[in-house]
Chain A
Amino acid sequence: MNAHFFSDTSVMTGRSLRHVTRSMDTIITVTIMPIAFMLLFVFVLGGAIQAGTDNYVGYLLPGILLIAIASGISYTAFRLFNDLQSGIFERFHSMPIARSSVLWGHVLTSLVSNAISVVVIVLVALLMGFRSSAGVLPWLAVAGILVLFTLALTWIAVLAGLSAKSTDGAVGFSYPLIFLPFVSSAFVPTASMPGPVRAFAENQPVTSIVNTIRALFEQQPVGGGIWIALAWGVGILLIAYALAMRAYRRKIA
């Protein structure tokens, strides 16, 4: 690792964060869709959904947060793709810097901007009646799971940004990720789904992550589900990181 890794990464992160703060529309578009879903499910569909809970906002909040993160990371792919197109990526790589700081700047920016969206959505959920008696530790556990999930998806975004041929391609990969929570326990209990759908829903990563966060909010025991959730998070992170780094090495000598 280069001696300047930390100072270079902080310069890169500062630059990338300016891109976020100077186009607040990226934060707004990222938060508005999940908030709209939340309103739709709570006030339109919620009455007909039998989730076995008297606080449906709290029930769907974990899934809504995952949707927000899945759409938020597409901006990381977008910004990285623009860097490649504009030539500034090559400029950085011809300079005597820690090269990996170019990617880490985008990754840390993704963590910060997604954290902002998550906080905004939780505040809206509080306004809509979400209450949690969970103490500091469960909240920290929720934050940790969300950070892990964001990191894992961000490296998928890095892979997409590096390998895309067009802006649409760079951003489009996130659509299936946004859709994934709908076929999970995020909005309705999986028990209500027909066999094959239920089998998929119960064995895809979102369900274990959603169930774990929900249990933490409700101060219920998380059981073995938290290990499945963490295994998914770490597994996706490692694979996405390895593939992204391979794509990166192909891009640059």
Chain B
Amino acid sequence: MEAQNLAIQVHGLQKSFGKLRVLKGVDFDVARGSIFALLGSNGAGKTTIVRILSTLLRPDDGTTRVDGFDVLSQPARVRESISLTGQFAAVDEILTGRENLIMIAQLRHVKSAGKVADELLDRFGLADAAGRRVSAYSGGMRRRLDIAMSLIGNPRVIFLDEPTNGLDPEGRIEVWQVIQNLADSGTTVFLTTQYLDEAEKLADRIAILHEGTIVVSGTLEELRKLLPPAKVEYVERQPTLEEIFLAIVGSDKKEQR
């Protein structure tokens, strides 16, 4: 693929913490406007990669470019292009939802910060809670606010580090919807997750990080081909617990907001 069509390029990325070699030469590319999912178990180094790509941590070796800019030599340019939604909703609990959005809009020097905030509050179903302090928000509301904050200034690449961690099934589906909409509007989404169904549902390409390297990567179809072809079996399919839960609870979802 041509370099200008790549939102993220990572080659030979290495990082150690003391004697612990977390990343031992990681390679992958992410195409512009796609959803890329990085899978791995806890402690595999997913967050380390996100922190390096978002200029929070210096790599030991390798080249890493985001939106065409080198993270080591042009970190300020990288920060212009990206937004980070970390593993824990990084919102200010003492401020209200609206104040959080306005603060980020001011820091990004967006014109008419108040208007931008109100639009996002509407879009993320937080308009009713706009004037409430975030400490009174539910986990799902916090996560939505967190992602809304990341969209201010229209970053070209968005990093979502385990965005559905700790959310209830409804919250997960809401976040999935947001991610899909982002990609549809042309934003590149870099997602880490330990939920396989999340990657399966959302990602254009999936990479599996294991023991410091990418062991496989490709589209879901390509990954499926790595295993023996599917056999046709007839099974009586029971609804999953998630489907049951959503069938019962899902109907009054709107009122909960």
Residues of A in contact with B (beta carbons under 8 Å apart): 4, 7-8, 11, 14-15, 18-19, 22-23, 86-88, 90-97, 252-253
What's the minimum C-beta distance from B194 to chain A, rounded to whole angstroms?
18
Interface size on B, residues (CB 8 A): 32
B contact residues around A86 at 8 Å (CB) = 88, 90-93
The reply to whether A94 and B82 contact each other, CB–CB distance below 8 Å, is: yes
What are 9 A-B contacts with C-beta separation under 8 Å? A4-B109, A7-B106, A7-B109, A8-B107, A11-B106, A90-B84, A93-B55, A96-B76, A96-B108
Whole-angstrom distance between the alpha carbons of A155 and B90 in the complex?
A: 25
What are the interface flags for B46-57 relative to A under an 8 Å C-beta threshold, 1 for contact and 0 otherwise?
000001001111
B contact residues around A94 at 8 Å (CB) = 54-56, 79, 82-84
> Is B103 in the interface zone, CB < 8 Å from A?
yes
Task: Choose one: B90, B93, B109; the contact of A90 (CB below 8 Å).
Answer: B90
> Is B87 in the interface zone, CB < 8 Å from A?
yes
Whole-angstrom distance between the alpha carbons of A91 and B87 in the complex?
A: 11
The reply to whether B56 and A252 contact each other, CB–CB distance below 8 Å, is: yes
Whole-angstrom distance between the alpha carbons of A86 and B76 in the complex?
A: 23
Give the dominant DSSP class at A's interface: helix
What's the minimum C-beta distance from B158 to chain A, rounded to whole angstroms?
11
> Is B58 in the interface zone, CB < 8 Å from A?
yes
Whole-angstrom distance between the alpha carbons of A95 and B56 in the complex?
A: 10
B contact residues around A97 at 8 Å (CB) = 79, 107
Whole-angstrom distance between the alpha carbons of A37 and B65 in the complex?
A: 59
The reply to whether A87 and B87 contact each other, CB–CB distance below 8 Å, is: yes
B contact residues around A18 at 8 Å (CB) = 94-95, 99
Whole-angstrom distance between the alpha carbons of A252 and B108 in the complex?
A: 20
What's the minimum C-beta distance from A82 to chain B, rounded to whole angstroms?
9
